[in-house]
């Protein structure tokens, strides 16, 4: 049975406005902290190899989620901060739907010597040719300006 | 009987202190969400707020359960049928419970306490009311069973919100006799 | 419907902030439970995750985000959430999976990372209130429980000293728990009564802290349990009930919804005289008065009688009805859903004689665990029996 009162006034029902008032501090975790501290100090990537399935996990983690075993210390190793573009898109609008001053190229980059990939901004002026398969390397912030977050990678080119 | 091992055998986890974060000893990402909401009020809350702007508290009557409910709803959650009619209630009531808070909404300490509680509204079913502030009284005067009356914002400052009532103050009986 | 037993439990350290991500915490707790049971990820049929508001961790699909650390990648999975009741509701959902016959072995994981929320986890709680009626008054959760505590104290004429005794008992009990955040062997009633006033009548030492942590449990069907143990700890009964959100229209002095959930669990467990048939209890104790409120809700004593039993020492580990022998939330910590570690894993460890320094003397056979959630609405109850 429906409500016993009909809405006849178009300005009612009213609405109530509000927002979400909370900020967040996300810890990078035991594995993430090791990755970002290394990126900050040495400017290279770290990856982890699962002792059971032998997959090279990137981004590196404390455990392999498929085999559910912990990665031992000797499973960690350095990889160069570069890879190949697997796929990409050219973004023209921002999150609100307004036009961006300059289109942005976002790519999924298969990181060299790993079985994983990273999302990154591609610094290129050439939007006409197909970027798939292009080899790119990470350009980092100067060492003194790095903070230990993903933003330490300025872009790939 | 052999003594069994004690569980949990160990406690995995790495404690980080506030200092570790302030001094950036660990890598972390800071994020400030930007999300806004526009909630539809529905017929019951719409009318409730419109009447608050007019300086009145209204409830809805459920004829099946024979109770007047406030805050009003278009359906009764007990018999799960539609409620039947609007009822104008008094703006006086009884303190059902209260607290004297030295914390604000973000758990920060404040010096002058906030007096907050639940007031059952006269004219509605027993124990039916809503939460609001108390004022014009000392914290030690506040007690369960106290009779209170709403203190409203001046008409032109009211906007159709629960805060059109500033707070509930002690009800003064004529002739000075304490209830 | 099949019988279901518990074959392993696990918990991480509980602290105000932990370095590990939510996924890593889930992994550590799940791995510990799997080690106790002696199983691998491939042995697990289905996974249940219990986790409270996404707004703590700050990832708004938290249930689906944590699966990698919950041994759920590639498996049937569900996340359940009933506010603070999740710590006992998640095991109840795990029980459904096995009792129904769709799974032989189910892993239940509970995780919370409250430390991510700034300026304080209370800020996340700003968003559980009604946006129109409550939020404009800028309430915080401590006010809410202070109002319930006040109503309970006033209706029964209870003094703060008797309530403070619960905080003292639980923080001292927690000394035997390796994960404990606030264990204190020397705390006294005076310490509690002299602590900082938060929202009268609640003082600082009356409340459990916000915490990061995770816990896990493994359920096994009666068909397979003999592969793991000759002395199974069975789930004897479960119950759950929710009350209306209109808390300003209810009398808060007695949690009727907890009593309804308890009756449901006791009926399943064929318990007709709870005070006599239950050997120990782990009621939800985010505040000290809540242990008393919930003991009465669990029908372990008459209304208003719980403070008297506490004063007489009945609820100490060596008393007639040990209550919160784990140290509870007040002693071990309160990562909302992950309190499954103290409320249900503890029942399992006590009944199997594995609780170490926390072990209740005698031969406990039946224990009841309970959690409580949302805006004083949800009661979840589980009974384990050897």
Which pLDDT tens digit goes with each residue over C251-260?
Answer: 999 999 999 9
- pLDDT at position A124 over 90: no
Residue B111 to chain C, least CA–CA distance (Å): 11
Q: What is the CATH number of the domain that holds C304?
A: 3.40.47.10
Looking at residue B3, its pLDDT comes to 66
Residue A113 lies in a domain: yes
Residue C15 to chain A, least CA–CA distance (Å): 14
The Cβ of residue A140 has, within 10 Å, a number of other Cβ atoms equal to 17
Residue A19 lies in a domain: no
Does residue C115 sit at the A interface (CB-CB below 8 Å)? yes
ipTM, two decimals, is 0.87
Mean pLDDT within A128-153: 93
Residue B124 dihedral angles phi and psi, to the nearest 5°:
-100, 175
- pLDDT at position C68 over 80: yes
Fold of the B42-176 domain: OB fold (Dihydrolipoamide Acetyltransferase, E2P) (2.40.50)
How many distinct structural domains can be found in chain C?
1
C-alpha closest to that of B122 among B92, B146, B96: B92
Does residue C353 sit at the B interface (CB-CB below 8 Å)? yes
Residue A7 lies in a domain: no
Structure tokens at C93: 């959902």
- pLDDT at position B177 over 60: no
Residue C135 lies in a domain: no
Interface test with B, best of C53, C124, C131, C137 (most B CBs within 10 A): C137
Q: For residue C276, give every residue at least 6 positions away whose Cβ sits within 8 Å of its Cβ, in sequence order, or none.
A: none
- pLDDT at position B179 over 50: no
- The Cα–Cα gap between C348 and C342 comes to 10
Residue C91 to chain A, least CA–CA distance (Å): 22
Those of residues 12-51 in A touching chain B at CB distance below 8 A are 12-20, 22-28, 30, 32-33, 35-37, 40
Domain with C59, as residue range(s), is 4-119+209-385
C-alpha closest to that of C177 among C291, C345, C24, C305: C345
CB-CB under 8 Å, A22 with B36? no
**Quick one: what percent of chain A has pLDDT higher than 90?**
77
- Closest Cα in chain C to B113: C199
Mean pLDDT within C373-379: 91
Average pLDDT along chain A = 91
- pLDDT at position B174 over 80: no
Q: What are the chain C neighbours of B73 within 8 Å (beta carbons)?
A: 246
Looking at residue C280, its pLDDT comes to 97
Chains linked to B by 3 or more Cβ pairs within 8 Å: A, C
User: C135: number of CA atoms within 13 Å, CB side?
Assistant: 17
Looking at residue B1, its pLDDT comes to 44
CB-CB under 8 Å, B38 with A17? yes
Query: What are the pLDDT digits (tens) for C193-248?
Result: 999 999 999 999 999 999 999 999 999 999 999 999 999 999 999 999 999 999 99
- The Cα–Cα gap between C70 and C47 comes to 7
- pLDDT at position B176 over 60: no
Looking at residue A132, its pLDDT comes to 93
**Quick one: what percent of chain C has pLDDT higher than 90?**
90
Residue C171 lies in a domain: no
How many distinct structural domains can be found in chain A?
1
Structure tokens at C31: 């791995």
Residue A1 lies in a domain: no
Cβ pair B21, C19 in contact under 8 A: no
Mean pLDDT within C157-185: 95
Q: Out of C9, C134, C146, whose CB is closest to B131?
A: C134
Residue A22 lies in a domain: no
Domain with A114, as residue range(s), is 29-156
Look at A79-83, A139-143, B36-40, B53-57 and tell me which has the smallest mean pLDDT.
B36-40
- Closest Cα in chain B to C153: B97
Average pLDDT along chain C = 95
Residue A69 to chain B, least CA–CA distance (Å): 15
Looking at residue B2, its pLDDT comes to 53
CB-CB under 8 Å, A24 with B30? yes
Q: Out of A3, A30, A36, whose CB is closest to B43?
A: A3
* Cα–Cα separations (whole angstroms), residue A21 to B34, B36, B106: 9, 10, 10
Query: What are the pLDDT digits (tens) for B1-35?
Result: 456 889 999 999 999 999 999 998 999 999 998 88
Residue C156 lies in a domain: no
Query: What are the pLDDT digits (tens) for A22-52?
Result: 899 999 999 999 999 999 999 999 999 999 9
- The Cα–Cα gap between C319 and B121 comes to 45
Mean pLDDT within B120-142: 96
DSSP C60-89: TTHHHHGGGGGT-TTS-EEEE-BTBTHHHH
CB-CB under 8 Å, A29 with C21? yes
Interface test with B, best of C58, C132, C138, C342 (most B CBs within 10 A): C132
Looking at residue A13, its pLDDT comes to 65
Residue A8 lies in a domain: no
Residue C160 lies in a domain: no
Looking at residue A11, its pLDDT comes to 72
């Amino acid at each position: 049975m429906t409500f016993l009162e009909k809405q006849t006034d178009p300005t009612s029902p009213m609405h109530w406005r509000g927002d979400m008032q909370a900020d967040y501090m996300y810890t990078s975790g035991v594995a993430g902290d090791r990755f970002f501290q290394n990126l900050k100090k040495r400017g290279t990537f770290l990856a982890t190899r699962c002792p059971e399935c032998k997959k090279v996990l990137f981004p590196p983690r404390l455990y392999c989620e498929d085999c559910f075993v912990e990665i031992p210390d000797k499973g960690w190793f350095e990889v160069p901060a570069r890879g190949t573009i697997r796929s990409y898109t050219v973004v023209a609008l921002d999150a609100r739907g307004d036009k961006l001053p300059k289109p942005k190229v976002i790519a999924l980059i298969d990181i060299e010597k790993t079985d994983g990939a990273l999302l990154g901004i591609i610094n290129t002026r050439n939007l006409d040719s197909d970027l798939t398969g292009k080899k790119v390397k990470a350009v980092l912030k100067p060492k003194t300006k790095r903070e230990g977050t993903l933003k330490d990678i300025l872009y790939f080119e | 009987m052999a003594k069994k091992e004690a569980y949990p055998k160990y406690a995995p986890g790495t404690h980080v202190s506030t200092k570790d974060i302030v001094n950036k000893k660990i890598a972390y990402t800071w994020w400030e969400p930007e999300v806004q909401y526009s909630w539809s009020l529905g017929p019951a809350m719409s009318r409730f707020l419109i009447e608050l702007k007019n300086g009145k508290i209204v409830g809805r009557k459920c004829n099946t359960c024979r109770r007047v409910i406030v805050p009003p709803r278009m359906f009764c959650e007990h018999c799960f049928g539609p409620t039947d009619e609007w009822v104008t209630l008094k703006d006086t009531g009884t303190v059902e419970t209260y607290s004297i808070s030295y914390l604000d909404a973000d758990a920060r300490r404040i010096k002058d306490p906030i007096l907050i509680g639940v007031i059952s509204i006269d004219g509605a079913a027993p124990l039916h009311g809503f939460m609001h502030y108390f004022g014009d009284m000392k914290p030690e005067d506040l007690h369960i069973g106290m009779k209170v009356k709403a203190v409203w914002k001046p008409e032109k400052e009211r906007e159709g919100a629960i805060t059109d009532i500033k707070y509930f103050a002690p009800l003064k009986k004529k002739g000075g006799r304490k209830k | 419907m099949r019988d279901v037993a518990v074959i392993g439990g696990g918990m991480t350290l509980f602290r105000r902030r932990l370095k590990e991500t939510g996924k890593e915490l889930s992994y550590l707790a799940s791995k510990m439970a799997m080690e106790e049971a002696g199983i691998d990820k491939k042995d697990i049929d289905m996974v249940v995750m219990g986790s409270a508001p996404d707004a703590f961790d700050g990832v708004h699909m938290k249930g689906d985000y944590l699966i990698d650390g919950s041994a759920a990648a590639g498996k049937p999975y569900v996340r359940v959430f009933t506010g603070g009741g999740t710590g006992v509701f998640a095991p109840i959902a795990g029980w459904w999976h096995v009792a129904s016959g769709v799974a032989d072995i189910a892993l239940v994981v509970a995780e919370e990372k409250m430390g991510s929320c700034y300026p304080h986890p209370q800020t996340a709680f700003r968003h559980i209130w009604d946006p129109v009626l409550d939020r404009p008054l800028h309430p915080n959760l401590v006010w809410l429980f202070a109002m319930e505590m006040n109503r309970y104290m006033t209706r029964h004429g209870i003094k703060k000293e008797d309530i403070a005794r619960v905080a003292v008992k639980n923080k001292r009990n927690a000394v035997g728990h390796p994960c404990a955040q606030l264990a204190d062997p020397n705390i006294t009633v005076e310490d509690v009564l002299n602590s900082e006033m938060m929202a009268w009548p609640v003082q600082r030492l009356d409340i459990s802290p916000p915490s990061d942590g995770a816990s896990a449990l493994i359920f096994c069907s009666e068909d397979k349990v003999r592969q793991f143990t000759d002395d199974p700890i069975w789930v004897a009964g479960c119950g759950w009930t929710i009350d209306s959100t209109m808390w300003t229209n209810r009398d808060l002095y007695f949690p009727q919804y907890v009593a309804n959930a308890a009756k449901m669990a006791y009926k399943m467990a064929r318990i007709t005289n709870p005070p006599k048939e239950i050997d120990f209890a782990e009621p939800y104790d985010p505040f000290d008065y809540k242990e008393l409120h919930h003991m009465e809700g669990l029908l372990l004593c008459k209304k208003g009688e719980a403070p008297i039993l506490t004063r007489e020492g009945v609820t100490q580990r060596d008393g007639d009805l040990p209550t919160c022998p784990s140290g509870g939330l007040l002693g071990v910590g309160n990562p909302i859903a992950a309190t499954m570690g103290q409320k249900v894993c503890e029942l399992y460890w006590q009944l199997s004689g594995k609780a170490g320094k926390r072990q209740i003397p005698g031969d406990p056979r039946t224990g009841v665990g309970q959690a409580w959630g949302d805006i004083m609405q949800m009661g979840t109850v589980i009974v384990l029996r050897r």
